[in-house]
Structure 1
């Protein structure tokens, strides 16, 4: 048995997988995000531990024999968060999360130093870790002086699980401190941010062992002693491992809190000016590219709250047959944007409303707006040398067949739907736990799922959505 632990933004999921990679059981526990000021997004790391413990306690109750047979654990987690620890490993302040954009000025200052794009292969985005530490230095100097270690969210869980300060390549690539081509910390980038290598965790590959589960937790949850904890992965790289998206040409589209167009690559292909992320993959000697929008299914959830309905009810009311592009246009920049605009101050809007506009029309506009932003991402990714033959769909928004057909049509790429199963980040983390515990070959483990369906682009709708996309782009420019 192998355990995957996925520390998401809205909850922790634990998943048990057997030797044949069949999901045996899973459990979840919720998390909440604090937004004390505009552009701020924080969580208390103590809540991550409490949620993980609650989910593991439930898993133990549901499948005690299976839990007792666990041989390896893999970790996945939300990326970029700055978890600041003192010399006694005590948390100094709430973790500043991936979608916190308060450090936009600090990010611009770091990005103006050519070394960051040259060495890290990426723009310094406000959501990345390095500018967060500069913000703390500028605004909370007493806290900054006490910083002994900086850990990413899942790596703080690892500290609790194993007692070690360790990270891995895919997550570390999103800090702006990693030499992504060389797969090591960059002293030059750390120094430019006021940091040192001593404040960084050790680095391992995602499929390599990073430590062993502490005896106290093994006893608490009924696990054997000496269970290996793998390096793991950032959430998108973990999802890619779960989906078998590990070879050049493999890709997926994620409709979660954020939206992602992900392409695996067999070489390092940086093009920072495109705002495409060029990161290490979770497997040795592999990389990937991502276009990232900050509001995808979260935009639908926001509108569902305004409309007083569930997201599922809104999308189900549209049916499965995609209608031509609507007269209403939605700009999905509810919390700024990354690819391709890199603008923390962008905001969302509906345009083209009339007396005849109702909830279905606004729902369609919202789905179309997010999809147009994903088309921006794919275009940027292709300009950076990446490509996808098809996109596997993953994330909560992937339950909407209407939305997936819309994505296939607007992006001009087949969208694949996996057969029933759980292939997300927790499953990918469990696969990494298997690799670390057994030394198996990644090619034998990281296979693609069986497909339920492939949605091809609806060519009869191409002209309509091309026109809608051009209107979307024009309005984006007009909005500044």
Structure 2
């Protein structure tokens, strides 16, 4: 048996997976999120650990016999979070998360201090990444910075609590802006640009390698017969790719979660910094991936649902399963700034084209379409980088909406496959990585086949043409609309 643990932005989820890849049990517990100022996003790392223990206790209570046979644990988590530890592993301040935009000025300072940064990392230095966050702490909280002994990513803080080891994997480390992504090692020039050294970094492993074993007290607590190995694991998107089987070159998935991701697996390091494409290591050795990332996917719909005082599923259900034509309104989904393709922490969202006849349904549809147009931006710059995306699996909470997937397929003009499996998310991918580490698999990709396709959502040809025109308008309005409040 194998356990997968995913540290999500809003909850921690753990799953039990059998050797044949079937899921036998799962548990999830929420974690609170703090926004102390506009554009800021923080969490207390102890909340991650408490939720992890709650999920594992729940699995042990529900399936004690299966938990007893666990031999491998895999970890996944939201990327880029700056978890700062002092002496005796004391957490120095709340972790600054992936969707925190405070460090825009520090990005430019890092690139000025290390002009080769984009060549080393294959990425623009963005406010969401870990390095600029630590640079912000260095400038604004110098007393905290001076006490830093280790910088860990969210899942790696959980690893420390599980095993006592300071370790990370290549896919998660690639999102720090301290990794030489092509060479898969820490970059001394980039560390120096933020006043850090390798001594303050965790050891690096491939996602399929064992980094340590579960502490004895925890083994007893969770009812395991022997201490399982803990795998390097992966950042949440690479872990989701392992769960959906997107490990071969060209395999792709689209994730409609809090944020949105268009992910493609690559056989080689393939950056495109001009389009703000993320080029990271994959969780498997000698494999990389590209991502287009948008910061507010289902977050946009949930924001609108709060605004109008109605549940998001009720709003989307009112549209039916398909729409006949584009909404007369247009929505810019930049509620937290944007990454791909704009790299613009200052961008803001909004509605355009409203009039006296605009209805709640018009605005709901506009929100779904605006997020889909942001995904089309990601597809465009991936194609500019020479990456062909012929089709993709659709995953994440938003993929449960038939009308949203229908809109997405038509906007992208690509078929979207929906899995028949009950769960192919990051926790499941983490469990597969735990299996690879526990078994020492020589071909870990063989443990990660794609799931059966339940159904495929095809583009509506008439709608695809109408959306192509609408997308051109969306792109043309970006510069004026996303910064209208700055004027």
Common fold: TM-score over 0.5: yes
Q: Shift of residue 414 of structure 1?
A: 0.9
User: Residue 91 of structure 1 aligns to a residue in which SS?
Assistant: coil
Q: Shift of residue 471 of structure 1?
A: 1.6
* 2:453 corresponding residue in structure 1: 451
The worse-fitting range, judged by mean Cα deviation, of 103-112 and 280-289 is 103-112
On the 8 A contact 2:410/2:464 being kept in 1, the answer is: yes
Structure 2 CA distance, aligned partners of 1:248 and 1:339?
A: 21
Does structure 1 residue 44 correspond to structure 2 residue 44?
yes
Structure 2 CA distance, aligned partners of 1:103 and 1:262?
A: 25
Q: Shift of residue 464 of structure 1?
A: 1.2
User: Residue 476 of structure 2 aligns to a residue in which SS?
Assistant: helix
Structure 2 CA distance, aligned partners of 1:50 and 1:137?
A: 29
Residues 25-80 of structure 1: CA deviation (Å, up to 9, x unaligned): 00000011100111110000011111111111111111111111111000000000
* 1:142 corresponding residue in structure 2: 143
1:327-406 correspondence to structure 2 within 5 Å: 327-406=328-407
User: Residue 454 of structure 2 aligns to a residue in which SS?
Assistant: strand
Structure 1 CA distance, aligned partners of 2:45 and 2:110?
A: 27
Structure 1 CA distance, aligned partners of 2:278 and 2:445?
A: 24
Residues 407-450 of structure 1: CA deviation (Å, up to 9, x unaligned): 11111111000014200000000000000000222232110010
Which of these residues, 464, 475, 478, is aligned with residue 477 of structure 2?
Answer: 475
The worse-fitting range, judged by mean Cα deviation, of 59-68 and 178-187 is 59-68
On the 8 A contact 2:71/2:226 being kept in 1, the answer is: no
Structure 1 CA distance, aligned partners of 2:469 and 2:326?
A: 8
Q: Shift of residue 236 of structure 1?
A: 0.2
The worse-fitting range, judged by mean Cα deviation, of 9-18 and 111-120 is 111-120
* 2:21 corresponding residue in structure 1: 21
Q: Shift of residue 477 of structure 1?
A: 2.3
Does structure 1 residue 201 correspond to structure 2 residue 193?
no
1:41-440 correspondence to structure 2 within 5 Å: 41-112=41-112, 113-440=114-441
User: Residue 406 of structure 1 aligns to a residue in which SS?
Assistant: helix
User: Residue 451 of structure 2 aligns to a residue in which SS?
Assistant: coil
Structure 2 CA distance, aligned partners of 1:222 and 1:328?
A: 55
Q: Shift of residue 389 of structure 1?
A: 2.2
Q: Shift of residue 343 of structure 1?
A: 0.5
On the 8 A contact 2:322/2:407 being kept in 1, the answer is: no
The worse-fitting range, judged by mean Cα deviation, of 59-68 and 90-99 is 59-68
TM-score, structure 1 normalization: 0.99
On the 8 A contact 2:81/2:96 being kept in 1, the answer is: yes
Structure 2 CA distance, aligned partners of 1:313 and 1:420?
A: 25
Q: List alignment gaps of at least 5 residues for structure 2.
A: none
Structure 2 CA distance, aligned partners of 1:269 and 1:358?
A: 44
Q: Shift of residue 119 of structure 1?
A: 0.4
Q: Shift of residue 17 of structure 1?
A: 0.4
Q: Shift of residue 225 of structure 1?
A: 2.3
User: Residue 21 of structure 1 aligns to a residue in which SS?
Assistant: coil
Q: Shift of residue 232 of structure 1?
A: 0.2
Q: Shift of residue 170 of structure 1?
A: 0.1
Q: Shift of residue 226 of structure 1?
A: 2.3
On the 8 A contact 2:82/2:97 being kept in 1, the answer is: yes
TM-score, structure 2 normalization: 0.97
Q: List alignment gaps of at least 5 residues for structure 1.
A: none
Off by >3 Å, runs of 4+ in structure 1: none
**Aligned-residue CA RMSD in angstroms?**
0.9
The worse-fitting range, judged by mean Cα deviation, of 327-336 and 401-410 is 401-410
Q: Shift of residue 247 of structure 1?
A: 1.1
Q: Shift of residue 214 of structure 1?
A: 0.3
Structure 2 CA distance, aligned partners of 1:407 and 1:420?
A: 21
Structure 2 CA distance, aligned partners of 1:474 and 1:272?
A: 21
Structure 2 CA distance, aligned partners of 1:420 and 1:307?
A: 34
User: Residue 53 of structure 2 aligns to a residue in which SS?
Assistant: helix
The worse-fitting range, judged by mean Cα deviation, of 108-117 and 133-142 is 108-117
User: Residue 131 of structure 1 aligns to a residue in which SS?
Assistant: helix
Q: Shift of residue 193 of structure 1?
A: 1.4
Structure 2 CA distance, aligned partners of 1:383 and 1:109?
A: 28
Residues 105-159 of structure 1: CA deviation (Å, up to 9, x unaligned): 0012223442110101100000100001110010000000000000000000000
Structure 2 CA distance, aligned partners of 1:185 and 1:278?
A: 16
User: Residue 102 of structure 1 aligns to a residue in which SS?
Assistant: coil
Between the two proteins, the alignment pairs up a number of residues equal to 480
